[in-house]
Amino acid sequence: MRILILAAMDKEVQLIKNILENAKCENVNGNLPIIRGSINGHTIYVGKCGIGKVNAAVNTLLLINTLHPDLILNSGVAGGAGLPIGSVLVADNVAYDDVWCGPGTTYGQADNNPLFFTPYTETINLIRDSGLDRHVVFGLICSGDKFISSSEEIAFIRSHFPDVKAVDMESAAIAHVCHMTSTPFNIIRVVSDTPGEGENISQYKDFWVKAPEKTFTILKDLIQHI
């Protein structure tokens, strides 16, 4: 199986690189840097999608068209909405938290698209069947083009999506592209900060100082069960 792992930032990519066997850096299409390696016989590509919805969408589509992956896994960090720092969240639904197409439309729903993008259920079932669910939480991830830092912002998102568990800036865009290209995907995020609960920007910075690499090894454990 060809699996593409996407992360928004270089430091996330480097943590993911550490779980690969025979990792090598290369360019595809002349200017798209990726890391190629393997886990348990699967060919693994790691790419940086960039921060924000447009970067994530463009780079996801470019890498899909170039690498033709069988599965996309998006990993990285997210702000927790009721989850403590260090929690590993596996999305069972993904939505935009900053999209509104006007009166008569549903908040969060882009025109001619679903309100919720549904991840690949076989992977979620595999996590449950393998016992990995003891180490993760399942729930809704919402995405928008803003670093969420206040309780007011979280309250606004909750007013539209009461079940939200975490917020980030890329997952919904990646899910949207995967929906449009019929590419199976899953989102796995580690909570780095808790908006509205203390100084979450300081929490975020501290997370990267103290975060152990084991926070990303859930990816390796998952892939080894595929």
Mark whether 12 is an active-site residue. Answer: yes
Helix (H) or strand (E) holding 3: strand 2-7
Determine contact, residues 223/40, Cβ cutoff 8 Å: yes
Q: Which of 92, 97, 153, 193 is catalytic?
A: 193
Active site residue 145: no
Residues facing residue 7 across a β-bridge: 48
Alpha-carbon Rg for the chain, nearest whole angstrom, is 17
CA separation for the pair 5, 73 (Å, rounded): 5
CB count, 10 Å around CB of 78?
27
Which of 209, 215, 217, 143 lies closest to 173 in space, CA to CA?
143
180 to 107, 120, 141, 177, 209: CA distances (angstroms): 20, 14, 19, 5, 37
Instruction: Check 10, 12, 122, 170 and give the catalytic one.
Output: 12
Catalytic positions, written as ranges? 12, 193
